[in-house]
Amino acid sequence: MRLIQVNIKLKSPAIISAKRTKEGYVKPLRYLPGSTLRGAVISSLYVEGLLNEENLKREAKNPSILASPAYPIIDGFKSYPATPFVGKCKLCGKIYDLTEINIRNIIESKDPVFHGECEKCQVPIEPLYGKLISKRGEVEVGIFRSTSVGIDKRRGVSARGMLFDYEAIKEGVEFWARLRIPREIEIDGLEIFIGRGTSRGFGHAIIKFTKEYEVEVDENIFYALSALVPLKSIKTPYGATIKIEEVYGRCKQLQTGWDIEKFKPRPIINVVESGAVVVAEVEHFKPEISAVGIPLEVEDSWITGLNVLTPISEYLAARRE
C-alpha cells in the first residue's frame, strides 16, 4: 500500500449532498466526503479491471483502500476546515486565526483564548469553525441551482411528479485529497463518477497524482481533517491505538451514508466537526492510516473517511503567509 496526494478535477457538475430532501438534492456539501470518494475510486478500479470481485469482498470486510475527504483548491491554494480558533469579522471580512497562539497555550497547559472584537470595526468576530478557508480567506465554491425532470427508467419518458431541484458544484472545480491504494495500481488519470446522478452525466471527474505523501509524527497535537468519532481510545484494525486526551471542537450528528453492500443506510452517529484540534497519545502510530482516516466498525457497517488526523503543524504551515 502507498499513501499519495491527488488532485480531483470535475469534468461535469457534481451533486454532493448529504441526503435527498422534498425539494430534491439541495444544500450540497462544498467538499467530497472521504467515504464517497473511496466508493467512487473503488467502483472505477473495478470497472477498469484493476480490482476483481475477490478484492471488493475483501474491501467490504476489511477496508484497506481509503480516502480522506477532498477539499477544494481555490486560486491554487488548498483549503482546510477552520479550527475552533478561527473567526471572521462580519463587516470587513478580516480573518482572525488564533490556532498557533492556542497550540502554544495548550503545550504550556494554559487555557485557549477566543476572539473578542475586530480591532478595526469593533464588532464581535463570528466563528468560522468547520468552514473552509485557504491562505486567501474563506473559500467560496461555485454552486448552481437547477431543476431537472426525472425520467421513468422503464418507459424512458419523463415521469409525472418527478421534477426535482438540485444544486451542484460547477465543473472545473478542483479538489485535493489523500488516498491509500495498492502499490501496483496506477491512479494517475483515473476517471471517477462521484455523487448523485452519475447515470445522467453528473459527477464525472479525473484523478491526477500529485505526490507521495510522507509525514513525520513527533507531536501529540493533531488536526482533524475530517469529522472525528469522539471515542476515548480509537483502536485501528492495523495495530495502532490513539488515546484521545482532549478535543477542542463541537459535536454534531452525521448520517454516515449508504451501505452499498448491505443496501441500507449506514447509522447516524455523533461526531466532532472537522477542523477540531486533538491532543492524543499514540501507540504504534501509522501515519498512512490516520492521514486517510481510521476506519471504524459501527453496527456492522464500516465507517470510512472519518478520523483523519494529521499533525497540527500541517495546518499551521498551510495557514502561514
Residues that bind Zn ion in the complex, under the rule CB under 5 A:
89, 91-92, 118, 120-121
Handedness of CA 80, 224, 29, 94 (dihedral sign): negative
Which residue number, 120 or 200, has a Cβ lying nearer to Zn ion? 120
Which residue number, 92 or 159, has a Cβ lying nearer to Zn ion? 92
The least distance separating Zn ion from the CB of residue 99, rounded to whole angstroms, comes to: 19
Which residue number, 118 or 205, has a Cβ lying nearer to Zn ion? 118
Please provide the DSSP assignment of 32-75 as one string: B-HHHHHHHHHHHHHHTTSS-HHHHHHHHHS--SEE--BEEEET
The least distance separating Zn ion from the CB of residue 108, rounded to whole angstroms, comes to: 29
The least distance separating Zn ion from the CB of residue 126, rounded to whole angstroms, comes to: 11
Q: Give the SS3 label for residue 155.
A: coil
Helices (H), the chain: 34-47, 53-61, 99-107, 287-290, 312-319
Which residue number, 114 or 144, has a Cβ lying nearer to Zn ion? 114
Separation of first and last alpha carbons in the chain: 34
C-alpha 313/C-alpha 178 separation (Å) is 17
Which residue number, 118 or 224, has a Cβ lying nearer to Zn ion? 118
Residue 306's nearest CA partner among 297, 294, 314 is 294
Which residue number, 89 or 106, has a Cβ lying nearer to Zn ion? 89
Residue 228's nearest CA partner among 266, 274, 297, 296 is 274
CA angle 217, 219, 223 (to 5 degrees): 90
The least distance separating Zn ion from the CB of residue 133, rounded to whole angstroms, comes to: 16
